[in-house]
Homo-oligomer: A and B are copies of this chain.
Amino acid sequence: MTQSKGISRRGLFGAAGAAVATGVAGYAAHSALATDKSQAADDNGPVGFHGPHQAGITTPVQDRLHFAAFDVTTTKREELVALLKEWTAAAALLTAGRDIGQYGAVNGPDEAPPEDTGEAVGLPPAHLTITVGFGPSLFDKRFGLAAKRPKALVDLPHFIGDDLEEARSYGDIAVQACSDDPQVAVHAIRNLARIGFGRTVVRYSQLGFGRTSSTSRAQATPRNLFGFKDGTNNLKLEDAAKLEQQLWVQPEDGPDWMVGGSYLVSRRIRMNIEIWDRTSLGEQEAVVGRGKGTGAPLGKADEFDAIDFTAKNADGEPKVPADSHVRLAHPDFNNGAELLRRGYNFVDGSDGLGRLDAGLFFLAYQRDPRKQFIPIQNRLAKNDKMNEYIHHVGSGIFACPPGVTPGSYWGEKLFS
Contact = CB atoms under 8 A, between A and B. Distances in A.
Q: Which of A121, A203, A355 has the most CB of B within 10 A?
A: A121
Interface residues of A, number: 98
A117 B277 contact: yes
Interface string A342-354: 0001011110111
26 contacts: A3-B298, A3-B301, A4-B285, A4-B293, A4-B296, A4-B301, A6-B292, A36-B220, A64-B182, A104-B292, A110-B283, A111-B281, A113-B278, A113-B280, A113-B281, A114-B227, A114-B281, A114-B284, A114-B292, A118-B226, A119-B224, A120-B223, A190-B277, A203-B350, A204-B350, A207-B209
Closest 4 A/B residue pairs (Cβ): A6-B293, A4-B291, A118-B227, A201-B354
A279 B103 CA distance: 12
Contacts of A193: 274, 356
A296 B224 CA distance: 43
Contact of A1 (B43, B113, B182, B286): B286
Contacts of A209: 64, 182-183, 186, 207, 209
A119 B35 contact: no
Interface string A83-115: 000000000000000000001110001111110
A171 to B, nearest CB: 11
Nearest to A204: B350
Chain A interface, >50% SS class: loop
Contacts of A5: 281, 291-293
Nearest to A106: B281
B202 A350 contact: yes
A294 interface: yes
Nearest to A221: B36
Interface string A41-82: 101000000000000000000111010100100000000000
B347 A205 contact: yes
Interface string A165-206: 001000000000000101100100110011001000111111
Interface centre among A227, A290, A348, A355 (most CB of B within 10 A): A227
A193 B354 CA distance: 9
Output the residue of A6, A7, A299 with the most chain B CB within 10 A: A6
Nearest to A296: B4
A119 B223 contact: yes
A36 B103 contact: no
A113 B277 contact: yes
A257 interface: no
